[in-house]
Amino acid sequence: MHYLGIDWADEKHDVCLLAGDGRVLSRLSITHDLVGFQKLHDLLKSLDEVSINLERSDGLLVDWLSCQPWPIYITQPVAVHHRRPRRSKDDRGDAYLLAHLLRVGDPECRPLLTQGPIVVHLKQLTQAYDSVLREQRRLSNRLIYLLKQYYPAALKAFAVPHSAIMLAFLERFPIPQAARAASLAELSAFLKANNYPGVAKKAAVLYQRLQQLTPQASVQAGLVEHIRVLLPLLKSLFRSRADLEKQIEQVFASHPEAAWWKSLPGLNGPLTAARLLAWIGDNRDRFPSAQVLQAVAGTAPVTRRSGKQIQVEFRVACCHELRKAMDDMARQSVKHSGWAAAYVDEQRARGRHAARAYRALANRWLSIIWKLWKTRSAYNEQVHVQNRSRQGQPEPAKAA
C-alpha cells in the first residue's frame, strides 16, 4: 500500500509519496494545470494500491482526482496545524505530514464524500445568491446613507430602498426639488408605467409625503452623482437576484427528493428547502449521526468541562449557510406545526430569548430531519406528537 500527500497551493502543489513502511519514495511539485495533473498520473499509474490525502475538498485538482480510481481522503487544515511538529510551516513538510497521517490511520483523515451533480449545481447557485444578497445589502446601506444626507423624503416613499420601484423613482426624480414639483397626475403615470399596484391610493399618499417640508442640503450635486453610480449596480443586482431565484427553483424541482423536502413544515417555499438540500446533500454517508449534523449546522452548543467547571457556549465554527437555513425553517415551522409552536413557547417561558429559542427548535428539527433523511421516510406530524406524548410532553394546540 502507498500513501500520497498533496499540499495545496494556488499555482503549484507539493506531493509526497510514502511506502507502507513509511519510506519516502518520491517528492515533487506539480503545476495547477493539465500538465501537472498528468505528471501526477504518470507517478501513480504503475502503483497497485495508493490512497491520497489533501486539505480541501473542492477545486479542479479534486475534481480530476475524483474521476480517477484512487480513494481520496480529506484532512482539515486545522487538524494538520495541530499535528505539525513545529510552529514553522513548510509546503514539502505538509505534503509529507498528510501522507504520514493517512498511513498511520489518523481519525482526522476522512474519506471524500461526493454529492450528486444536482446538489453540487444547487450549492453553487445558492452561494451565488448569497453573494448577491450581501452585495445588495451593502450597496443598499450606502444608498440609504446618501439619501439621508440630502433626500430623506425618498426613504419614506417606498418601504424597500433597493426595490425596483424605488430605483426607478430615483432615476425619474433624482433630487427632492424634482419630486416636490411633480403633480399628482405625474406620480400616478409614473406608478402605472412601472406596474405598481394600487396606483390611485399610493399616488395620493406619495404626493402628500413629497410635499412635506424637509431640510435641504446646501450642496447636493456630488451626492446625486454618487446615487447615479449606485442605481445601475443595484438594478443589476435586483435582476440577478430574481434570475437566481428562478434557477434555484428549477434546479431544486429537478431533484428526485424535492417533494420530500417540501413536505416538511416550514419548507413550502423553494429557497429554504433548496438551501437545506444544497448543504445537507443526498449522500447518506456524510452524517453518521444526528449529533454530527447538528454540530455542522451550529444549532448544538459546545460544552467545555474542566474540573468542576462546566461551560455551555454558542457554537461559532459551523456551516453558517446551513445554520441560517435551519433558522429560517424553524421560524416558519411554528406557523404550520403545533408542537413546534408549543416548543418555542416552552423555551420562552424558561426565560430564553427568541434567537436561542428558535435555535433550539432548529436543533430539534435537525434530529427529526436526520432520521427521516437516513430512512427516506415522509414526515408525519401526528407520529411526532404521539412520540412527544409518550415522553411526557404536553400535546400542542393545532397550528393556525
In a domain, 395, yes or no: no
Q: Are residues 243 and 135 in the same domain?
A: yes
Block residue for cell numbers 509526497: 16
The single-letter code of the amino acid at 268 is N
* DSSP structure string for 185-212: HHHHHHHHHTT-SSHHHHHHHHHHHHHS
CB atoms within 10 A of CB 137: 12
In a domain, 398, yes or no: no
Q: Are residues 297 and 382 in the same domain?
A: yes
The answer, yes or no, to whether residue 388 has pLDDT greater than 70, is: no
Q: What is the pLDDT of residues 76-102, one digit of tens each?
A: 988 888 888 876 678 888 999 999 999
Q: What does DSSP assign to residue 107?
A: T
Number of separate domains in the chain: 3
CATH of the domain at 189: 1.10.287.4070
Q: How much is the average pLDDT of 271-290?
A: 94
Q: Are residues 218 and 315 in the same domain?
A: no
Q: What is the pLDDT of residues 49-77, one digit of tens each?
A: 999 999 988 889 999 999 888 999 999 98
pLDDT at residue 317, as a whole number: 85
Give the global pTM.
Answer: 0.85
Q: What is the extent of the structural domain holding 301?
A: 258-390
Q: Are residues 310 and 382 in the same domain?
A: yes
Q: Are residues 14 and 134 in the same domain?
A: no
CATH of the domain at 84: 3.30.420.10
pLDDT averaged over the chain? Answer: 90
Helix (H, G, I), strand (E, B) or coil at 335: coil
* DSSP structure string for 228-250: HHHHHHHHHHHHHHHHHHHHHHH
Q: Please report which confidence band the pLDDT of residue 392 belongs to, taking 50, 70 and 90 as the band edges.
A: low
Strands of 72-74's sheet in order across: 24-31, 12-18, 2-7, 50-54, 72-74, 110-111
Q: Please report which confidence band the pLDDT of residue 187 belongs to, taking 50, 70 and 90 as the band edges.
A: very high
Last residue of a domain, one of 229, 251, 273: 251
Q: Please report which confidence band the pLDDT of residue 399 belongs to, taking 50, 70 and 90 as the band edges.
A: very low
Last residue of a domain, one of 111, 143, 178: 111
Last residue of a domain, one of 52, 87, 111: 111
